[in-house]
Each structure stands twice: as structure tokens, then as C-alpha cells.
């Protein structure tokens, strides 16, 4: 059999010379594979080389809800706090329970009829997670909340291993809107239900601070916002950390995109709002050994702004006389009649401002006279110098001006545009990505022309923004300087030489109004303005907010004086009648 096949092939080869030349040429290769198509100007050839491809399931993405996007951001932020030294229980226990409570209160999960399952049959499953310590903790979970539980757990592991679940979610093609990548982006942006606190990116920071406050961690609200601004905690363009399968466009852009830095007062108000909405119980007590106690925070900020250590004795007396160090005053209780928490960092620096006014008056006169005395004394006593307010002012002003300039330059150079472009609809995706590619190329060209040096490596975050341990004539350390120049000995104790004091606010609003008079710089001394601006820069707050806190402490400290002034004003009104 094999011999017959061989003979047949030989006969065919002998007869092949009679075939036309054209036939033979067909057997030769007529095309060559082009590996690099960048040099070919014709875009049609590129399209032909790619061929027609169907969209893979990966391009379609997962079926996901807006609350899952916020949950992912919260998990990433909690992980960032963990790398900064916060205990893991903040994420696994406190923040987890707060988030579960929010999902139930907002009717998004852990309830019989969640807002996402209207018109669909809900399968109620048992919640196998450990319950929180509160009696009102949710006991039921639906199919959607089960996926939320799984995604919270998966956020700690490899998110790429997650697959779309057909049993717990509706099909993307059936429910997803062409106006958003999430299943409920349009519905969420239009939802305006009375009594429901809608989740936003700034409110993620409020959740974080509530968790930090519950754990009594050594992180104040100003520290948290500073870590956010320094990119140690995801906030701006946090959606870039979403898995590739979570497609985000259209209405999702208005939900997750942030184009401004968080504001202290805004996050503070949102924190109280969320605590009341969640109906949280009284928080753990803030005792004297807690980091958030004013005596400890004052010590920290005295070191921060390079003031003498001896001032701590005076600040402790101010805290004791005003009663702001009491446990009931410091502990946050959302279910109280007047839910209000303390601005712990602002209150601490306000105590220091009051102490400086007690020592130096800060009226653009007394502080400079006392500085002259300290300067004369220090010429002959270099071993134990007196604190010189004028010299401290010069050192701090130079240091703060340098820090301000660096911060302004960093903010000016900050790229608000995300590396992961956002588009209004899936149709606009190619155009948006093409524009983004052009922008990146232009930035590279301009950087090459400008010969920009690469930025130094990212510094590790620190609780202190200023470092006064360096030895140098231009940055002297005042921690060990004495206050004997502003104190006089009376018997066995030291008293303040300055017997005068001026109140930051002469008249408050009525009892039902908690505001104070408006802060206008022109009405106050330059020294007082400098001190306020110094601490405002340190905490990244407005000077008016610190002025208000100083006025409230003065009201407690000089309660009799305010009462007498009110009585005299009433008598004047009677006389006028």
C-alpha cells in the first residue's frame, strides 16, 4: 500500500511542469506579517491587522453597587491607617460594625426590603458574621448584603480572584444603566429620601475619624486630614484603586470624583451627623491617660511650636479651672440631648493661646518690653536663658513662611486629573483615553524641555511637622528656656508679673446660640494674629475657628467677669428705659 502511494506522488511531480506558471505562484506566500505597525500611516491597515474581536467578559466588568465602591474606599483607607501604626481591630471590628450599621440604617442591606431589590424577590439568609456589641445590631441579611460581606473580606486579599456571581446579582446586561458603570449610579444620584444620610467620599473620612475616636487612637482630626493631603491615605482619585473589573463612568464620576481638599469643619459636622444617624451609644471615656486629653495634647503642641516646657504647669491650671479636662466633657455621646464632641486638637492649642495671653498679654506692647528684659539677662546667662518672645517670634515666622511656601508649591503642582480617565458614557471611552494619552505625552515633553529633576522619595508620615532637635543658630530650640522673666516669686509660689488681660470676645450671643462674634484681624493686635495664624497653619484650620475656641475657654475661665458685664449691660438697659 505504501509503495502505491509513493508511485502516485512521483507521477504527480513529473507532470507538474505542465502546470501554468500562474498556478505555481499561488503556492508562494503573498503576504508578510508586520510586527511593528507604528510606522504605517494608514490606520485602516492597523484596523485590519487587529481583526474583528468580540468584547470579552472582562471588558464588561463586574456587577457592582455604589455602596460597594465606598466600601472598597473605606477598606483601602483603613489599610493605610494600619500601615501608619493604627491597630488592625479598627478595620476588622470598629469600622466594620459602623459600616454594617450604616447599610442597615440606609436600607441598602441587612434589612428585609433593601432599596436595590425593589421588584425582585429577596432571599433572606442568616448572617454568619460576629455581631457587634450593640443590641440594635442587624440580625438579617439579604442576598445583596451577603455579597457585601464577601467583598469586605476579599478587600483584604487578592481582589482579582473575585468572579461575578449570577446567584446573588442580576445580570449586568439586564440592569446596568448605560449612564453609569455601577448598577445603581443613576438611581443613587437621584435618591433624596428624608432622614437618610447619603454616602460621599468626604463622609468616608468621617467614618474613619469616628472609628479612631472609638478606639481612642493617637490621631486627631487635623492629623487625619494632613495625612490625606500628603497622600498617605487614599482620598483624591481613590477610585483609581478599584479593581479593573469595576467599570466606572457616567454618573459614577459625580459620586466618586473629588476635586478639593477636605475641610476640618465640614468633616467635623459630617462626623456628628453620621454618629446621630447611626444612633451610636456613648463612646469610651477620654481619661487623663488618653492621648486626646488636653493636658497630653498641650504637651505635644508645646513641643511642636518650640515653646518652653515650663508652660505646661500654667496650661494644666487653665484646664483644671475651666473644667475642660473632665471625662463627661471630653467623652462623645451621640445619643445625648445636645450631641456634640470636642475639637480636641483645636481646644488644646486654644489653651496654649490663653496661656500666652496670660504671660505676655499679646497687645503689641507688653510682650516686647518683656523681651527686652530677657535679652539683657541672656547676655550674661547663657547656661539658663530666659524665654525671649521676640526671638521666638522671628524663628517661628521664618520657619512657618518656609513651610507655607513648600505647601503652596506642592498644592500648585498637584495633579487633580486621575491616571484612570473618567468618561460620561462607554461610547466616549476611546475619545477620553486618546485625550489623556495626548496630555501625558505633552507633560513628558515639557518635563524634558524644562529638565525637571525627579522629586525626592516620599517621606514617612510623622506626628510632628517641625523638628527642633537640630543644633544651629538659625533654628534654636526654646524648650529648655526659663519663664522666670515673666514670673515673680510670691512666698513659696510663682505668680505672673503681668496682671492685665483682655478678652478675645467681649459679648457672646444669647444662650440658645452657640456662636461668638466674628473674627476680624484688624480688630486685634499683630502678636495675637501671628499666634492664631501659626496654630491655624499647624492644624490646617481657619483662624476664626481657633479664635472662637479661645473665646469659649476664656468664657469659662473668666466666668465671673462675663456675668458682671452682663449684669451691668442689663442695668444700662433699665436706665435707658
Residue-wise pLDDT tens digits, 533-545:
999 999 999 999 9
Q: State residue 170's pLDDT score.
A: 43
Domain contains 89: yes
Domain contains 332: yes
Whether residue 238 is found in the same domain as residue 291? no
Q: State residue 566's pLDDT score.
A: 55
Domain boundary, last residue among 262, 280, 298: 280
Three-state DSSP at 186 gives: helix
* pTM assigned to the model: 0.78
Strand partners, 237: 235
Q: State residue 114's pLDDT score.
A: 79
**Helices within 230-263 (DSSP H only):** 251-256
Whether residue 101 is found in the same domain as residue 201? yes
Whether residue 264 is found in the same domain as residue 303? no
Q: How many other CB atoms are there within 10 angstroms of residue 222's CB atom?
A: 18
Whether residue 256 is found in the same domain as residue 288? no
**Helices within 292-428 (DSSP H only):** 294-304, 311-322, 327-330, 344-360, 366-378, 389-413
Domain contains 159: no
Whether residue 275 is found in the same domain as residue 321? no
**Low-confidence residues in the chain, pLDDT < 70:** 1-60, 116-178, 339, 418-459, 470-473, 507-517, 560-577
Whether residue 91 is found in the same domain as residue 219? yes
Per-residue pLDDT of 81-95, as tens digits, reads 999 999 999 999 999
Structural domains of the chain, count: 2
Domain contains 14: no
Whether residue 93 is found in the same domain as residue 199? yes
Q: How many other CB atoms are there within 10 angstroms of residue 33's CB atom?
A: 6
Q: What are phi and psi of 248, to 5 degrees?
A: -135, 115
Q: Identify the domain containing residue 238 by its residue range.
A: 61-112+180-280
Domain contains 75: yes
Domain boundary, last residue among 280, 302, 327: 280
Whether residue 193 is found in the same domain as residue 324? no
How many whole angstroms from its chain centre is CA 425?
29
Domain contains 100: yes
CA nearest neighbour of 564 among 493, 476, 483, 503: 503
Q: State residue 49's pLDDT score.
A: 39
Whether residue 260 is found in the same domain as residue 287? no
Three-state DSSP at 544 gives: helix
Domain contains 45: no
Domain contains 237: yes
Q: What are phi and psi of 496, to 5 degrees?
A: -75, 130
Whether residue 231 is found in the same domain as residue 348? no
Q: What are phi and psi of 313, to 5 degrees?
A: -60, -40
Domain boundary, last residue among 280, 304, 331: 280
Q: State residue 280's pLDDT score.
A: 95
Q: State residue 246's pLDDT score.
A: 85
Q: State residue 135's pLDDT score.
A: 38
Contact present, 422 and 240 (Cβ < 8 Å) = no
Residue 535 to residue 362: CA distance in whole angstroms: 15
Residue 185 to residue 506: CA distance in whole angstroms: 51
Whether residue 237 is found in the same domain as residue 204? yes
Whether residue 265 is found in the same domain as residue 311? no
Amino acid at each position: 500500500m505504501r509503495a502505491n502511494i509513493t508511485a502516485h506522488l512521483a507521477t504527480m511531480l513529473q507532470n507538474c511542469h505542465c502546470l501554468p506558471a500562474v498556478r505555481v505562484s499561488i503556492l508562494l506566500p503573498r503576504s508578510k506579517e508586520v510586527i511593528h505597525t507604528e510606522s504605517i500611516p494608514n490606520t485602516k491597515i492597523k484596523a485590519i491587522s487587529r481583526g474583528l474581536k468580540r468584547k470579552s467578559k472582562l471588558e464588561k466588568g463586574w456587577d457592582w453597587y455604589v455602596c460597594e465602591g465606598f466600601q472598597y474606599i473605606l477598606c483601602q483607607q483603613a489599610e493605610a491607617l494600619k500601615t501608619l501604626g493604627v491597630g488592625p481591630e479598627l478595620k476588622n471590628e470598629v469600622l466594620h460594625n459602623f459600616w454594617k450599621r450604616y447599610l442597615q440604617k440606609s436600607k441598602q442591606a441587612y434589612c428585609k426590603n433593601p432599596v436595590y431589590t425593589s421588584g425582585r424577590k429577596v432571599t433572606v439568609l442568616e448572617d454568619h458574621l460576629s455581631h457587634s456589641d450593640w443590641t440594635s445590631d442587624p440580625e438579617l441579611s439579604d442576598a445583596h448584603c451577603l455579597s457585601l460581606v464577601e467583598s469586605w473580606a476579599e478587600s483584604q486579599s487578592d481582589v482579582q480572584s473575585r468572579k461575578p456571581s449570577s446567584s446573588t446579582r442580576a445580570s449586568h446586561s439586564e440592569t446596568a444603566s448605560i449612564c453609569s458603570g455601577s448598577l445603581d449610579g443613576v438611581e443613587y444620584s437621584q435618591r433624596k429620601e428624608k432622614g437618610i444620610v447619603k454616602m460621599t467620599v468626604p463622609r468616608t473620612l468621617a467614618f474613619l475619624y469616628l472609628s479612631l475616636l472609638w478606639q481612642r487612637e493617637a490621631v486627631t482630626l487635623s492629623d487625619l486630614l494632613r495625612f490625606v493631603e500628603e497622600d498617605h491615605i487614599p482620598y483624591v482619585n481613590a477610585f483609581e484603586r478599584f479593581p479593573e473589573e469595576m467599570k466606572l463612568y457616567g454618573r459614577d464620576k459625580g459620586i466618586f470624583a473629588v476635586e478639593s481638599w477636605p475641610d476640618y469643619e465640614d468633616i467635623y459636622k459630617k462626623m456628628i451627623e453620621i454618629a446621630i444617624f447611626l444612633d451610636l451609644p456613648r463612646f469610651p471615656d477620654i481619661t487623663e491617660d488618653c492621648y486626646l486629653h488636653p493636658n497630653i495634647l498641650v504637651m505635644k503642641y508645646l513641643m511642636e511650636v518650640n515653646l518652653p516646657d515650663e508652660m505646661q504647669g500654667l496650661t494644666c491650671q487653665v484646664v483644671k479651672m475651666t473644667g475642660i479636662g473632665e471625662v463627661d466633657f471630653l467623652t462623645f455621646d451621640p445619643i445625648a440631648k445636645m450631641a456634640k464632641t470636642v475639637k480636641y486638637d483645636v481646644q488644646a492649642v486654644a489653651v496654649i493661646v490663653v496661656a500666652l495671653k496670660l504671660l505676655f498679654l499679646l497687645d503689641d506692647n507688653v510682650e516686647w518690653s518683656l523681651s527686652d528684659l530677657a535679652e539683657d539677662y541672656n547676655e550674661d546667662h547663657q547656661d539658663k536663658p530666659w524665654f525671649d518672645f521676640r526671638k521666638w517670634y522671628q524663628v517661628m515666622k521664618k520657619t512657618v513662611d518656609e513651610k507655607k511656601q513648600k505647601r503652596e508649591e506642592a498644592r500648585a503642582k498637584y495633579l487633580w486629573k486621575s491616571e484612570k480617565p473618567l468618561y460620561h458614557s462607554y461610547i466616549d471611552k476611546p475619545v477620553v483615553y486618546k485625550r489623556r494619552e495626548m496630555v501625558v505625552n505633552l507633560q513628558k515633553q515639557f518635563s524634558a524641555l524644562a529638565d525637571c529633576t525627579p522629586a525626592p522619595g516620599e517621606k514617612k508620615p510623622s506626628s510632628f511637622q517641625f523638628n527642633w532637635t537640630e543644633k544651629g543658630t538659625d533654628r534654636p530650640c526654646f524648650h529648655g528656656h526659663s519663664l522666670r522673666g515673666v514670673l515673680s516669686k510670691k512666698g513659696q509660689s510663682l505668680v505672673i508679673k503681668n496682671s492685665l488681660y483682655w478678652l478675645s470676645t467681649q459679648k457672646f450671643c444669647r444662650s440658645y446660640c452657640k456662636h461668638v462674634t466674628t473674627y476680624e484681624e484688624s480688630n486685634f493686635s499683630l502678636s495675637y494674629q501671628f499666634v492664631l495664624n501659626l496654630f491655624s497653619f499647624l492644624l490646617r484650620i481657619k483662624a476664626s475657628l481657633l479664635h472662637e475656641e479661645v473665646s469659649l475657654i476664656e468664657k469659662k475661665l473668666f466666668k465671673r467677669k462675663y456675668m458682671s458685664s452682663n449684669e451691668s449691660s442689663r442695668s444700662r438697659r433699665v436706665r435707658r428705659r
